[in-house]
Structure formats: structure tokens, C-alpha cells
Structure 1
Amino acid sequence: MTKSALVLGAGMVGVSCALALQKRGITVTLVDRREPGCETSYGNAGVLALSSIVPLNNPSLFPSIAGYLGNRHPALNLSWRRALARPGWLLRFLWEARPSQAAARIAALESLTACTVERHRALMTEAGVAHRLRETGTLKLWRTDAGHAAAKAEHDFLKSHGIESEILDRQGISAVEPSLNPIFPAGLLIPAVGSVDSPGAVTAAYAALFADRGGRIEQAEVTGLARQGTGWRASTATGAFDADIAVVALGPWSGDLLKPLGLDPKLDVERGYHRHLKARAGARLSRPVYDADAAYYMAPMEQGYRVTSGVDLSDRDAPDDHRQIDGVTKAAHEAFPFDGVTGETWRGARPTLPDSLPMIGEAPGNPGLWLAFGNQHIGFSTGPITGEMIAAMVCGETPPADPKPFRPGRYIG
């Protein structure tokens, strides 16, 4: 019987794993180099992405590739140096986009996102931060008349998966978001999607709930992981921590810790940026808005209006490249009456695997070593169910979603 656990990584996925294991009577130590919610879980658009069920590398990627290669599209910045350094990963990423794989991967993602609002609502109530939850949906917008067909196609697709949406014309958009500039002829309102006003603060509140229930949080950088007897030991500069099992939930840094064990999870990263903009007096948004043609979110946050960039496929630790976020800032000013930037530009990295699905399960050949990472751009949404799946499997229960599509063995031999 598992009596103690180390959870390495205090983002949304790691904190959720810690809470779920703790709920089952396991003594948990949560370890991260920074305070909970300060890395990848801090910088997203705060969307509880019920409708994000299509992998980034889906069949529609192929006709779009030519438009991405010159780094002129706001959705993608590709470092050719990085691509040439890992051609095998990029080729596998493209291979996974073939049509025969699409339905299974959509079903897998849907199994993770279907209850995201309900799970977060329950946790936010327990943690005393229910006031941070908005259930006003999200609004996707198009800048050209071609958006009418795109909105209809997405509406029909979502309806086939039981997700309701409403197609809006220019007047309909102005009715739900009067402060938007009237540059969008087509839109899609998805009412069931939730959002929060500070994803970092929500993650920190979940960690505080874990601590209030007797959980131990250690701020230290994990420098090594090794088997210790029948359990696992995590080494840090300030000491070592032992437990029956270890859960690696370090997001884009997870591979660094696993490779010395001879485990290569085929993990890579998608970098992203955000800035906070100040609205002019009287202007407001009631929900996150996605500008499809300019590839960014505008999301109301407690710090102001957060605008997020597209994907930057550069090395995880390469210097900042503000081309995309600069373009986003300009596009956002076209869409909404902003009055300047507040604070510094933030950069983070999302962990991604070639099939755009997370890795959730026990590492092959390493009993007691559990992996929970690779949730890509929906880790904030899918953290709670990932934690429940890990805890259920650790305790021999039936997990709330089929773990087979996420098994580590699909990439780790």
C-alpha cells in the first residue's frame, strides 16, 4: 500500500496530483523550485477549455504548413535551428496529424476536458476562491467574411460532441461585447466554457488548500531522482526527500529529470508570451475573446487585460523573441480600446508531446514512478482530472477517464 508520495512540480497538474493523493490518505510532499503556480500555470489565458478537443497537429495543419514556414503568420514562430536539431520529433509531430489518427485523439482530449468546469468549480469552492470563476463562456472572432463559414463549421463540429455554441454576426457580437471595435463580421459564442481572473492565484489557492489539510510544500530545485530501496528519492541542494512513490509533474522540465534514468519521453516545448493592457475608461470585456485571424486571446484578469501570443517553437531557454507578442499588441489595439501596456512581458513554456496528448501513468520498468506532464496548452483546464487519474491508478481504483491514450509506454520503451 502506498503511504507516502513525492509530487515534483507545483503547477496546476502537480498541485492537483497532490490534492488527489492526499484525499486518499497518502502523505504527500510537494516540491518545486518556485512557489506554486508561478511558472507555466501562471501565464495562460485562464480559460477552462471545455471545447479544446482538437489537437494542434490535426489534419488541417497540412494545408497551412506553407503559410507558417516563413514565420509571417502570428500563430507560429519556428526556430529552424531547433527544428533541424530535432528533426525526428518534428516529423513524428507531423505524422501524428494524419487523418486516421484524428478521431481517437479528439476522443481522448474530450475525455479530459468534458468536466473541467465542474471539477474546477468544486475545487475553487473548497479553496475559498469561487469568486475567481466566470461562467460567461468564450467568444471566438473572425476579421473577414470567410469567418461565417468557419464559425458554422466549428458550431456544427462542437454540436456533434454535445457542446452548444451560438453563431453571431456583427450586431450579435456588439450585443454581447459592446466595447469591442466593430471589425469582426463573424463570431462564435461558446457559453459552457469557463474562465478565471488569475490562473496563478487559483493554482496557489489549491496549494494552500493542500497545505491546510496537512500537506507539506518544499521550495527547492530537484536536481536528481533515483530509486531508494522500494521507493524513490528526490535530491535537492538543501537535502533529499524519500517516499514510496514519486510523481513527475514538472511540465517542460520533466524530461531533464527523467533522462538520467534512461527515460526519454519525447518531450518538447511550445513557448508563449503575454502582456497586460489597460482598458480605456468605461471599456470592458465580460469573457475571454479569441481573435482567430490574429491568433491571440484577450482575457480579463485582475492585473488588466491579458493578451497571449501564438506558439513560439524555439528552444525552451533561448532568449525572448517578441515578434509575435508585439504583433498581438498591435492587433489587440485594433480590436478593443486599450490605453497602453502595464507591467512586463512574460514568457513561459508549455510541455508538448508529438501526439498532442499528455503522458499520464506509471513509467515502464520503474514501479512507483508516475508521470503527469505534456498537457500542452490545456494543462490549467485538465490538471484536476489528471490528478484524479494518477491518484486512482496509484490506489488501484478505476480512473475517471480511460488512461490508455495517455500511457507513457507509447513513447517510453
Structure 2
Amino acid sequence: MSEKQVVVLGAGIVGVCTALHLQRRGCAVTLVDKGLPGRETSFGNAGIIQREAIEPYAFPRDLASLINVATKRDIGVNYHIRAVPEYVPALVRYWANSAPKHYQAIADAFRTLIEHSISEHSELIEQSGSQNLIVRKGWIQAFRSPQQFDEAVERAVRVSAHGVLSEHLDGVALRLAEPALSEALVGGIHWLQPWTCIEPGDLVQRYADLFESEGGQILRGDARSLRQLGAGWSVDTDSGSVVASEVVVALGPWAHELLFELGYRIPLFVKRGYHAHFADGAMLTRPVLDTEQGYMLAPMKRGIRLSTGAEFASLSAPPTPVQLGKAESAARQLMALGPQVERIPWKGARPCTVDMKPVIGAAPLHKGLWFNFGHAHQGFTLGPVSGRLLAELMMGETPIVDPAPFAPGRF
């Protein structure tokens, strides 16, 4: 029997891991991307494999939070007025799915993937020789107000029922753990299980190198050239057209454009985000989230990476890194940041669905077309397990988790 020919579109962490898992099941896999592996969404995150993140980010439902967002007083959220009409339909559904009567089932499904995040990464980290990129010290969710801290402790106790381990730090203990932090913080939750990466883009590149070392092929190409060709699919690359019987769309925020042309109306929207690095100042040993201000500080190769929350804007709109400036001012209240390294901040986009779950499985309308995208804030965390799950579905194996909650046909 000849080996199955597969094209994977998108060389972010989800696409690379999907390609790896398919190749290890005997498929001949070509990974196609317009650029280098791990240079887009996978590049710019805080580098946390979030084993604790068993509850996806819900839309805020209390009036005070909504007012702060609407008036742009919340550093963690920005929006473009002209993009509001584009976003409203998706955000209304996102808000509705965040209601308690829907959210619990969503979180229960999401948790099944998160529970495999560390174990699935661990194997690839070892095989790709990436141990030097990984720190196993967890991360800290820090608080400025006692009320917010107390509420977080209650949540930490609640999620511990699902095997999520944490330590609750008062102000003194927090500064013992991270001496660079100021007394503006009253306490924090130290999530103990997550691993962190000092350069997420490098980790994805090493996974891609592992894929190539095991016989995989990575080509530059344009996913928009995808077309059906008889019983299979064809896509144009710099090395000519590549033909395969199966194709996987792992394009993250760019999946919507391609799938719209194929007749799919999956409610995908983007949350843009920014980061910059600050060097030659105080350092941290693990990432720290300034929870009430909505930004993350994470130690990276190039210094402290300050990454912002969500910006609701058209995917192609020019950068507006106003959150980054506000977050930098807030961060300098907490620690002695050095000067900014980059002249121009990095900008990326997270692919989000209205029910907070990724889209993993067979396309309803086309034979040989598969989806693996929509991981929102957790693509870096879920790339390996999502890649494994889709490969198992494509090969008819028993899946690692129940795939039904993630099926494309649910929309």
C-alpha cells in the first residue's frame, strides 16, 4: 500500500506538530507556509505551557468590567471603532457562550486537551533536544488588591479538584520568590505545574527541524492557491505544485479567509496582541501576570518580554500598540525594567472561536480536508496534543480525547 500524501498548511506550532504526528504514522507530509516555522502567532506569546489553564478565557459579564472595556480604561483590552461592526456578531455569541449554563460544558471539554499539554510537549522537547529552552518553575499570577487576590485563591482551590497544583503567596512570600517585584503587589498564585520557554519561536523551529530530520518536507507557498484536483488537493509552492490526497488547514487567524472561499462560515475572530523586550534591568525567574492591569512579564533570551492582552481590530489593520505603552508604565511600578530592545514592537493575532474551543477534525463539505485551528490564547500550550488528536482522527485510530466537542460541524 502506498503511503498517504498529506499537505499541512501553516507552520505555526499547531501545523508543525500535526505534520510530525502524521509523519510518524507513515504519511508523506509536506508542510507549507509563506514564511519560516514559528514566526507568526507562535512566536509572540509569553512562552507558557499552561497546564493550569483548564478554563478558557470567558467574555466578561459583569457591568463594571464591560464599562472599563468600553471606555478603554482596561489596559488588557483595546479595540478599533471601525472594526466594531465586523466583531459584533462573533462577540455576541462569545458573550452568550460565556454564560454559566453553557460555559461549564465548554470548560469540561477544554480541560481534556489541557490535561495532556505537558506530557505531549515533553516528548517532543526531549526528541528535538530543546531542554535548554525550558524552565520548570511555573508562573505567578500577581495581584494589586486584596479582594482580587482572595477571589483568585478561591478559584485556585476550586480548580485543584481537577489536579491543578498551586501555592498561594502573600506579599512577603511573593517578593521572596521574585525579589525584583515591588510592594505594589499584595500577593499571588504560583501555578506550579506549567513549564515555560525562553524563546517560543525557537522551540517551534526545533520541532520543525525534528520533522525534517525524520523525512518531512517544508516548502514556501501560498495557502490561498489551494484547489481541489480530482480526488485530491493541490497547492502552489516555490518548488512547484504539491498534490496530496489530504490537506490540513492549520493557518490560525488566516484560516477564515481560505475557508470562506470554500463555503465555510466558521465563526472565527482574532484578538491581536503586542510584545516588546526590555533588557539590562531587573530580572525575573518565571513569568508574572499583573492580573488587574492585563499584561504579562516573562523572562526571555532577549530580556523581559512584556506582552499585552487583546486588541479587537481587523487582521490587516495597521499596528496600534497603545496597550504596550500603558502596560510599560504599569510594569515600571512593579520592577526596574531596562530600556526597550526593539524600535518597533512585535504584533500578532490569536485565532479565537465563539465557543472558546479549537476546531479539530474533518471538514463537513469536502473529502480529504481537515481543520486544526482556533486555539485562541492556548495554541502554544495545545499544539502537540492537537496535532496528535487530528493525526489519530485522520488515521482512524482511537483518539487521545473525545473529539466531538471540537468537531468543525458543531457550527
Shorter-chain TM band: over 0.9
The one-letter amino acid paired with 1:183 is A
Residue in 2 that maps onto 1:239? 240
Tell me, yes or no, if structure 1 residue 102 matches structure 2 residue 103: yes
Structure 1 position 3 matched with structure 2 position 39: no
Measure the CA separation in 2 of the matches of 1:93 and 1:235: 35
Question: Which string of whole-angstrom CA distances, capped at 9 and with x for unpartnered residues, describes residues 303-334 of structure 1?
Answer: 11101001000111111112101111111111
User: Partner residue of 2:54?
Assistant: 53
Aligned to 1:406: 406
d(CA) in 2 for partners of 1:362 and 1:58? 28
Which residue matches 1:82? 83
Per the TM alignment, residue 223 of structure 1 is displaced from its structure 2 partner at its CA by 2.4
TM-score normalised by length of structure 2 = 0.96
Name 2:163's counterpart in structure 1.
162
Structure 2: which amino acid aligns with 1:32?
D
Q: 1:126 corresponds to which residue? A: 127
Q: Deviations over 1:321-370 (max 9, x none)?
A: 12101111111111111121112310000111111111000000212100
Residue 189 of structure 1: aligned partner? 190
Alignment check: 8 A CA contact 2:13 2:383 kept: yes
**Residue identity in the other structure for 2:335:** F
Structure 1 stretches lacking a partner, 5+ long: none
The 10-residue stretch of structure 1 (186-195 or 62-71) with the greater mean CA deviation from structure 2:
62-71
- 2:263 — aligned with what? 262
Residue type of the alignment partner of 1:104: A
Give the whole-Å Cα distance in 2 for the aligned partners of 1:148 and 1:217: 47
| Secondary structure in structure 1 of the residue aligned to 2:401 | coil
Residue matched to 1:376: 376
Q: Aligned partners of 2:280 and 2:166: how far apart in 1?
A: 27
CA contact (8 A) 1:7 1:29 kept: yes
Corresponding residue SS for 2:52: coil
Deviations 1:112-160 (A, max 9, x none): 1112122212101100111111110110100122233123222212212
2:297 is the alignment partner of 1:298: yes
For residue 6 of structure 1, report the CA deviation from its aligned partner. 0.2
Q: Secondary structure at the match of 2:72?
A: coil
Whole-Å Cα distance in 2 between the matches of residues 188 and 86 of structure 1?
Answer: 33
- Corresponding residue of 1:355: 355
Structure 2 distance, partners of 1:62, 1:7, is 43
1:51-74 deviations in Å (ceiling 9; x for gaps): 122222256566622221112201
Do residues 42 (structure 1) and 66 (structure 2) align? no
User: Which amino acid in structure 2 is aligned with residue 210 of structure 1?
Assistant: F
Superposed, 1:266-281 pairs within 5 Å as 266-280=267-281
Query: What are the equivalent positions in structure 2 for 1:323-402 lying under 5 Å apart?
Result: 323-343=322-342, 344-402=344-402
Q: Which residue of 2 aligns with 1:315?
A: 314
- How far residue 238 of structure 1 moved from its aligned partner, in angstroms, is 6.0
- More displaced 10-residue stretch of structure 1: 386-395 or 283-292: 283-292
Question: In structure 2, do the counterparts of structure 1 residues 148 and 349 end up closer, same or farther at CA, with 3 Å as the change threshold?
Answer: closer
Kept after mapping to 1: 8 A contact 2:222/2:235? no
Contact 1:58 1:102 in 2 (8 A): no
CA distance in 2, matches of 1:241, 1:255: 22
CA distance in 2, matches of 1:136, 1:347: 27
Q: How does 1:2-41 map to 2 (within 5 A)?
A: 3-41=4-42
TM-score, reference length from structure 1: 0.96
Code of the residue aligned with 2:229 in structure 1: it is Q
Alpha-carbon distance between aligned partners in 1 of 2:285 and 2:238, rounded to the nearest angstrom = 45
Q: Look up the equivalent residue of 1:284 and give its one-letter code.
A: M
CA distance in 2: counterparts of 1:134 and 1:119, whole angstroms: 16
**Secondary structure of 1:258's match?**
helix
After superposition, the C-alpha distances for 1:357-413 in whole angstroms (9 at most, x for unaligned) are 1100000021210000000011000000110011000110011111111110112xx
CA distance in 2, matches of 1:89, 1:59: 14
Alpha-carbon distance in 2 for matches of 1:267, 1:352: 6
Write the distance in 2 (CA, Å) between the matches of 1:408 and 1:63: 35
The separation in 2 between residues aligned to 1:238 and 1:111, in whole angstroms, is 39
- CA–CA separation in structure 1 for the residues paired with 2:381 and 2:339: 30
**1: CA distance, partners of 2:410 / 2:79:** 26
* Contact 2:165-2:191 at 8 Å conserved across structures: yes
- Once the two structures are superposed, residues 37-60 of structure 1 have per-residue CA deviations (whole angstroms, 9 ceiling, x without a partner) of 000000000000111222222565
User: Which SS does the other structure have where 1:146 is aligned?
Assistant: helix
Matches of 2:202 and 2:351 in 1, distance apart?
Answer: 21
RMSD: 1.5
Q: Which amino acid aligns with 1:330?
A: S
Q: 1:37 to 1:324 in 2, by over 3 A?
A: same
- Distance in 2 of aligned mates of 1:61 and 1:250: 33
Aligned-partner Cα distance in 2 for 1:124–1:222? 28
User: Which of 160-169 and 204-213 deviates more?
Assistant: 160-169
CA contact (8 A) 2:219 2:237 kept: no
Counterpart secondary structure, 1:361: strand
Task: Return the offset for 1:85.
Answer: 3.0
SS at match of 1:382: helix
**Cα deviation code 1:198-250 (max 9, x no counterpart):** 00000000000000111000012222222222211123476321111000001
1:131/1:86 Cα in 2 relative to 1: closer, same or farther (>3 Å)? closer
Q: Secondary structure at the match of 1:335?
A: coil
The aligned amino acid for 2:322 is R
Aligned to 1:141: 142
Distance 2:90 2:184 in 1: 39
Structure 1 segments, 4+ long, off by >4 Å, are 58-63
- Distance of aligned partners of 1:279 and 1:191 in 2 relative to their CA distance in 1, 3 Å threshold: farther
Paired residue secondary structure (2:75): coil
Alignment of 1:190-205 (within 5 A): 190-205=191-206
